[in-house]
Amino acid sequence: MNRSAPRTDGPLGSRLTARARDEVPAGVTTGTKLLADGALLHVPPAGGRGESCPLVVLFHGAGSSARAGLALLAEQSDEAGAILLAPQSAGSTWDVIERGFGVDVRRLDRALASVFATCPVDASRIVFGGFSDGASYALSLGIDNGDLAGHLVAFSPGFLAPAAPHGRPRVFVSHGVHDPVLPIERCSRRLVPGLRQAGYDVTYEEFDGGHVVTPAIARRALRWLDSGLSTL
């Protein structure tokens, strides 16, 4: 499964320590706001009412932004009642790709601690997702933190490089058959069989398109999430 063994920054490496709280915060503000380190947080009306909500962490692609990460599911989040957190990478892409797990893991841990302290997150319904390099990061970091994130959504991933797997998250992967950036033969058609051989429950969707997340694929991922999260 590993493309290579990523280096780590400090003893925690890829492990996230923040955890959701049992108590529900009062006076939650809805809408989108900027957090530290450039992360964006969107809280749906359900969260403002104090309802326990799923949390979806969305990682942007290389050279992109937290806003692009948020946009992956922003249109559907209010109807789905999902809190969205979109981190911003410290560099041009995510740490494991540039130099090994480290700075972005710690930035995400701080953002998660803030979200858990101020938002009504259902600890049993935490999702990591992303597009392109962000999809590779969601898979790699998510597998190492499968005891935190029970569901992973990867739109057009390029590789998989977990350092120390924990838990057994469910996985959704989509990929365009005409992807010129991360060709499907070298990427998802290798990743998905490897994940399945390792014992992961993987739903895999190929579509007639390129290096994109189409509205149809976004809806398909949300239906998959809804079916999985509703059974918890």
Lowest-confidence range among 7-21, 38-52, 111-125, 172-186?
7-21
Between 26 and 38, whose confidence is greater? Answer: 38
Does the pLDDT at position 217 exceed 50?
yes
Does the pLDDT at position 10 exceed 70?
no
Residue 22, C-beta contacts closer than 8 angstroms, at least 6 positions apart? none
Pairing of strands 151-155, 121-131: parallel
CA distance to 1, 156, 188, 205, per residue, from 177 (Å): 22, 10, 10, 10
Q: What is the phi/psi pair of residue 32, to 5°?
A: -110, 135
Q: What is the pLDDT of residue 9?
A: 44
CA distance to 83, 171, 205, 209, per residue, from 182 (Å): 29, 19, 15, 12
Confidence (pTM): 0.92
Does the pLDDT at position 5 exceed 70?
no
Buried b (16+ CB within 10 A) or exposed e, 115-131: bbebbbbbeebbbbbbb
Instruction: Indicate the average pLDDT of the chain.
Output: 91
Between 5 and 17, whose confidence is greater? Answer: 17
Question: Which domains does the chain show, CATH number per domain?
Answer: 31-229 (3.40.50.1820)
Between 196 and 10, whose confidence is greater? Answer: 196
